[in-house]
Amino acid sequence: MRRACDNVLGLKNAVNYHSIQRNEAVFTAHSLLGEPENWRSHIERTSSSVALSMMYDSPLVQSLQDPSLLWMNRYVEEISAILMPGAFLVEVLPFLRHLPRSLSKWRRDAEESFEKSTAYFEKRFQNIKKQVVSGQEQRPSFCVSLAENQENSKLSDQECAWLAGLLYAAGSETTATTMIWFIFCMVLFPDIQTRAQEELDKVVGRSRVPSFADLKHLPYIHAIVKEILRWRTPHVSAENSFDSDSDPSTTTLRYTGRCRGIPTRRHLDENGQLKDGLLGLSESHFTYGFGQRICVGRHVANNTLFMAAATILWTMRLEGVKDSDGNVVVPDVNSEEENGVLVRPPPFSITTTPRFRDADTFIKEARDEVVEENLVARLDARD
């Protein structure tokens, strides 16, 4: 399964998802500019919709209330709750696993949830596989690649179906959380935002929205995304200790990417500016894990984050709301709250203003094109 993911989401194939990521970035920037009060929902919609499109080539989903997102996100919530260490008594008292099924509610619930999810994921995978087998031309998606390579990978239909479902879960919340930290950081550090916008003016100009071709010329925006991943790793920072007396069969060991991050000092010069270390191409953090278990989705995640950051910063100035004295309210630098196994900033409000004359017109036109393209894709999907 790991090999199948590495192949489809690797550096070379990550370009297959560029147009999805670019369209989502445009749609998000337009939504943030028009409705800053709902900024978190817009970010959550984006990462869910990107993940769904990458898995199943679904057209961009315009609302978090869309039934397909509601279903997938309910399933992600269930998985997140199950993943929390200590969620079930049987983890602490392993002998409970020998009780008959009739006395094990946790087992019955798990089986029921497995059956429900399997039916849903298999239906989605089978729809795509049928089209692949019939020789119908397909746009790239994770399921298309799985179906095309099923003979080599030797994965069953059920394994393929679950793999796509699990990738959605692995990629949607993590990406949304990082994007939320991005907004937090831009509000908190206006000077960094200004410098990124100066870079955008120099490289992209003000008469078109950023494209993937620009990204290698935007080292400062790369550096911002990397630093956010390092500084505000989305994972829970577990601080539990364990010792040699701990029972290995019942101890859950989680590492936190954050404690393995490189200290900020090394990345800032005496003026507080980012040093070259972060401007290079290497990851510079351990937020995607390491070794054989390193995140297979890191290339597509980086692309989604870079594109969204560049497009949002190109379009608008992000600020905290003003208090009654006219001072901008910024969130507390140390604030964070747990959300399942991830850590997010607590709620805060933002304002967004077009960064220059016509920025709102440009982003609206780009967004209208995306919506039109989407409509055609939806009609195609129905045929």
Q: Which residues are annotated as a binding site for heme?
A: 295
Q: Give 3-state DSSP helix, strand, coil % of the chain, rounded to 5.
A: 65, 5, 30
Nearer to ligand HEM, 36 or 257 (CB): 257
Least distance from ligand HEM to the Cβ atom of residue 51, Å: 6
Least distance from ligand HEM to the Cβ atom of residue 6, Å: 8
φ and ψ at 354, to 5 degrees? -55, 140
Nearer to ligand HEM, 23 or 178 (CB): 178
Nearer to ligand HEM, 36 or 171 (CB): 171
Contact, 121 vs 162, CB < 8 A?
yes
Burial label, 48 (beta-carbon count in 10 A; 0-12, 13-18, 19+): buried
Distance CA 372, CA 62 (A): 12
Distance CA 369, CA 365 (A): 6
Least distance from ligand HEM to the Cβ atom of residue 267, Å: 18
Least distance from ligand HEM to the Cβ atom of residue 128, Å: 16
Helix (H, G, I), strand (E, B) or coil at 376: helix
Site residues for ligand HEM per CB under 6 A: 2, 5, 9, 167, 170-171, 174-175, 178, 234, 257, 287-289, 293, 295-297, 300-301
Least distance from ligand HEM to the Cβ atom of residue 193, Å: 20
Sole residue written with tokens 């800032």 = 268
Comparing every residue's Cβ against ligand HEM, the nearest one is 297
Burial label, 136 (beta-carbon count in 10 A; 0-12, 13-18, 19+): exposed
Q: Which residues contact 320 (CB under 8 A, 6 or more apart)?
A: 187, 328, 329, 330, 331, 348, 349, 350, 351
Least distance from ligand HEM to the Cβ atom of residue 322, Å: 31
Distance CA 106, CA 99 (A): 11
User: Which two tokens mark 145?
Assistant: 């690649």
Distance CA 145, CA 159 (A): 14
